[in-house]
Amino acid sequence: MEVTTDLKVMGRSAQMASRKLAVLTTEQKNEALLAIANELEQRAELVLKENALDVHAAREKGTGEALLDRLSLTPKRIGGLVSDIRRVAELPDPVGADIESRLLTNGMRVTKRRIPFGVVGVIYEARPNVTIDIATLCLKTGNASILRGGSETLRSNKALVDVIQSALTSVGLPAAAVQYIDNPDRALVSELLRMDEYVDVLIPRGGAKLHRLCKEQSTIPVITGGIGICHVYVDEACDMEKAVNIIENAKVHRPSVCNSLDTVLVHHRVAEAVIPKIAERLSTYPVQLKAVPEAMGILSQHGQAAHAELAGPEDFSQEWMALILGIKIVQSIDEAIEHIHEHSMDHSDSIVTTDWAKANQFINEVNSSAVFVNASTRFNDGGQFGLGAEVAVSTQKLHARGPMGLEELTTYKWIGFGDGHIRS
């Protein structure tokens, strides 16, 4: 396909728009957000119609149910997006806040103040709700955005961006504040990665292949995240009912997302009691279990091997994003932590225990972007953490880790207040 989209024009337009957004008051930005929420409510039927075409086309191509769920919008999900937008409008605006300030011995005051990045580029797959999350968080923080979603949600994303741009225009803001690359040509991704003249930061939301491409080819600073092999370790000192509830929620609540559970590690002293309870609870969905031989033996003894098979050598290095769960028996918390170090992608990991010494050891030694004690990995989410929404869950160590909300979409500048000061 011939590339007809002029990304440089988009980049220049986004850069100009970002300068206008950077000086908006909080009230002006909130007015724009509420206009988007209202416009989405009014045009929900049209968005759902376009999304239904995307879903139908994906189903015709043989797309699996987990991915179909990721790309599907429903009236309830649209309502959730509208609520999310209004919630972002209610959140404190970080732009212009002084992070720290100090008076120097020479009488000069220096202040570190939050400012927008400028232009944020985001490459993502499958989930059209990401379009709303990114656009609204970027607008609240005074950033323009250039979005590139997956071809499987092209119609949905175009409809959503039309809604956003219409609302922006209605309140006197440039439509170029939120732009969408609607040409599915993959060559445009490589071109976007080299647009450092216009784009200030790039955030890929997708699989390992996309992350690797961005790390290797981008001339723009990249913040990676959104993929992870998530674990729950069931300690020998645990409340078994809570453990089963947590595992059920982490696995089946939304199996196609990055904070869903991939592997359960069970202490050998409670394996005989816990594993059958886990299998029984998950059998109604049904979840396919990938079990080590010892765990498979326990399942067979209880007549629960119908939805289980022996784990292969690579199964504990898989982000399933489906109703599949690995089960491994470990001899100690140290072995569980070592397994996590070997297989984790630093996203979300949890321990179920009543022993707070063990809980603290887990917290201190597991270095994921979010570590939980007696809670589901599904909580590693911007909305659940009170951030409103999120652009991504960062798993890297520079600038931001975990859910990237409003503050994570800002940088800062130093301001020096003097009174004729000169440096001697």
pLDDT in tens, 313-343: 899 999 998 999 999 999 999 999 999 999 9
The strand pairing partners of 245, in sequence order, are: none
Residues sharing a CB contact under 8 Å with residue 368, sequence separation 6 or more, in sequence order: 228, 340, 344, 346, 347, 348, 349, 395
Alpha helices, DSSP H only, in 61-110?
A: 65-71, 75-90
Is the predicted pLDDT of residue 8 greater than 80, yes or no? Answer: yes
Is the predicted pLDDT of residue 1 greater than 50, yes or no? Answer: no
Confidence band, pLDDT 50/70/90 cuts, at residue 356: very high
Residues 53 and 84 grouped into a single domain = yes
Q: Which domain holds residue 72?
A: 7-223+404-417
Is the predicted pLDDT of residue 237 greater than 90, yes or no? Answer: yes
Residues 19 and 158 grouped into a single domain = yes
Residues 133 and 202 grouped into a single domain = yes
Strands 348-352 and 393-394: unpaired
Please state the rounded mean pLDDT for residues 241-253. 97
Is the predicted pLDDT of residue 352 greater than 70, yes or no? Answer: yes
Residues 70 and 94 grouped into a single domain = yes
Q: Is the CA virtual torsion 184, 189, 190, 194 positive or negative?
A: positive
Tokens linked to 379: 């909580």
pLDDT on residue 85: 94
Residues 210 and 325 grouped into a single domain = no
pLDDT on residue 35: 98
Residues 317 and 174 grouped into a single domain = no
Residue 208 in domain:
yes
Q: What is the pTM of this model?
A: 0.85
Number of residues that make up the chain: 424
3-state secondary structure 290-357: EECHHHHHHHHHCCCHHHEEECCCCHHHCCCCCCEEEEEEECCHHHHHHHHHHHCCCCEEEEECCCHH
Question: Are residues 68 and 59 in contact, defined by beta-carbon separation less than 8 angstroms?
Answer: yes
Percent of the chain with pLDDT over 70: 99
Measured between alpha carbons, how far is 72 from 35 in angstroms, rounded to an integer? 24
Question: Are residues 204 and 124 in contact, defined by beta-carbon separation less than 8 angstroms?
Answer: yes
Residues 323 and 348 grouped into a single domain = yes
Tokens linked to 200: 């200030």
Residue 398 in domain:
no
Residue 148 in domain:
yes
Is the predicted pLDDT of residue 66 greater than 80, yes or no? Answer: no
Tokens linked to 70: 């990721």
Lateral strand order in the sheet of 119-124:
178-180, 144-148, 119-124, 201-205
pLDDT on residue 212: 86
Is the predicted pLDDT of residue 4 greater than 60, yes or no? Answer: no
Residues 306 and 251 grouped into a single domain = yes
Q: What is the DSSP letter of 260?
A: S
Average pLDDT, the chain: 94
Angle at which helix 333-343 crosses helix 356-365, to 10 degrees, equals 20
Is the predicted pLDDT of residue 418 greater than 60, yes or no? Answer: yes
Please state the rounded mean pLDDT for residues 57-67. 88
Q: What is the Cβ-side half-sphere exposure of residue 183, based on CA atoms within 13 angstroms?
A: 15
Residues 74 and 89 grouped into a single domain = yes
Confidence band, pLDDT 50/70/90 cuts, at residue 386: confident
Question: Are residues 378 and 250 in contact, defined by beta-carbon separation less than 8 angstroms?
Answer: yes
The strand pairing partners of 215, in sequence order, are: none
Confidence band, pLDDT 50/70/90 cuts, at residue 184: confident
Residue 209 belongs to domain with CATH number: 3.40.605.10
How many structural domains comprise the chain? 2
Please state the rounded mean pLDDT for residues 277-305. 96
Residue 44 in domain:
yes
Measured between alpha carbons, how far is 184 from 189 in angstroms, rounded to an integer? 9
Strands 308-310 and 348-352: unpaired
Is the predicted pLDDT of residue 2 greater than 80, yes or no? Answer: no
Residue 334 belongs to domain with CATH number: 3.40.309.10
